[in-house]
Chains A and B, each alone.
Chain A
């Protein structure tokens, strides 16, 4: 038998990771949960994807200062890296608030639209 508190925790964790359907079968318990699409969408991005193409640049233009540090909290919309095309830079933005993980591409690598460029742990809505 699973205590009710644990069931709440499992549901919260599933929701935070964008799980759409969850079934747990244990002796004496059958748990089935379906999460609404919008709930899943809020916490879905486990990666930050590029919305343009360009050469991956982790530092602010003209500096050697990284725009974001792995593990640091970011707000939705923060520019966490840049995609360079000639003398122009396009932004890579955090899609939601949370903490930024590691870069998935090397400095200077050519990145295309939709490519994952960072892992990210979204802020849990239940905290």
Chain B
């Protein structure tokens, strides 16, 4: 059992989401940084899609009522593990009664606390993810609060010495670094042109691909609103029929500033879709806090698929490195 000792609002139980219900208007949901969730689960011997705690407001303090192997992945968060300072992308046993403190990230935006056995909240419509908007799933359909107790599932046997001593893994920031990302202060995202891309005038298209965009404070699990130096306008503004929205779709509302739909996005919307973030780069966007600067790199479908394969290869490498530690 994991007991939450202190947490600001909006920290939730998430797994890889609830696909397949868009026809009744439900969002896909799930961890904003699915890559961090997968690797965190692997580090504690879980299936990749087990439920974990998504931490997007800090500090979070929890303790275990029994010895638990935990992992913290995602943002570069300072951690105190039973009092000892350890880096992020770390797994270690937390003794019964000892405290884990997850502090505000030095870099990135969201951390994931995975527990051996997974967070055992009851699945709803095939997922343990919290849908905050509709108020179901996760822990009582809401954000975590101090005093909440989360049951955990059966843990896989794990190498005792490493669990005791703790270990880290190579994070995707280095393993999946982009050659095109030359400025360390800018997050590069690969995008495909959207169905309404060519409806924008030449200056808008040039600005969209050429200028930096800043993530504003008006950003959450539903979407990220961006600000930039250019107002994006169409050659012939006209009303559009509503179209499907998936996480990563970049729309341009009448304000002319783009917004990127994310995990808890509505299933459909009527703003023009100028682009879509390659699925392989959604984790980078999940780690972009308000104020972060983005640049969009135009890629074709083939490159987006290749990027997805590279992500999968990274996860496979971590899985292979950890395999000897999981006693079969």
Contact = CB atoms under 8 A, between A and B. Distances in A.
B114 to A, nearest CB: 16
A88 B97 CA distance: 28
B166 A62 contact: no
Interface in B166-183: 166-175
Nearest to A60: B87
A62 B86 CA distance: 14
B101 to A, nearest CB: 13
Interface stretch (B60-68, B76-84, B220-228, B251-259): B76-84
B242 interface: no
A87 B321 contact: yes
Interface string B65-106: 000000000001000001111111110000000000000001
A78 interface: yes
Contact of A75 (B76, B83, B90, B106): B83
Interface string B293-328: 000000000000000000000000110011000000
A62 B321 contact: no
Contact of B167 (A60, A67, A74, A88): A88
A89 B169 contact: yes
Nearest to A91: B166
B167 A63 contact: no
Interface residues of A, number: 22
Interface in A46-96: 51-52, 60-63, 65, 67, 74-79, 82, 86-91, 93
Given A88-B168, A91-B165, A60 B88 contact: yes
A76 to B, nearest CB: 7
Contact of B168 (A61, A78, A93): A61
Contact of B84 (A86, A89, A93): A93
B165 A52 contact: yes
Contacts, number: 75
A67 B87 contact: yes
B86 A61 contact: no
Contacts of A62: 76, 89, 170-175
Contact of B106 (A65, A82, A86, A88): A65
Contacts of A77: 82-84
B136 to A, nearest CB: 35
B166 A63 contact: no
Contacts of B86: 78-79, 91
Contact of B174 (A61, A67, A88): A61
Contacts of B168: 61, 82, 88-89, 91
Nearest to A67: B87
A79 B89 CA distance: 13
Contacts of A82: 87, 168
Interface in B147-205: 162, 165-175
Contact of A61 (B162, B170, B317, B322): B170
Interface in B89-145: 89-90, 106-107
A61 B108 CA distance: 14
Contacts of A67: 85, 87
Interface in A21-52: 51-52
Contact of A87 (B76, B84, B318): B318
Contacts of B166: 79, 91
Nearest to A82: B168
Nearest to A90: B167
Contacts of B82: 77
Contacts of A61: 87-89, 168-171, 174
A55 B207 CA distance: 45
A82 B83 CA distance: 18
B179 to A, nearest CB: 17
Interface of B: 76, 82-90, 106-107, 162, 165-175, 317-318, 321-322
Given A51-B165, A67-B85, A79-B85, 10 more contacts: A61-B170, A62-B170, A63-B87, A63-B173, A65-B106, A76-B84, A82-B168, A87-B169, A89-B168, A91-B168
Closest 4 CB pairs between A and B? A77-B84, A89-B168, A62-B171, A60-B87
Interface of A: 51-52, 60-63, 65, 67, 74-79, 82, 86-91, 93
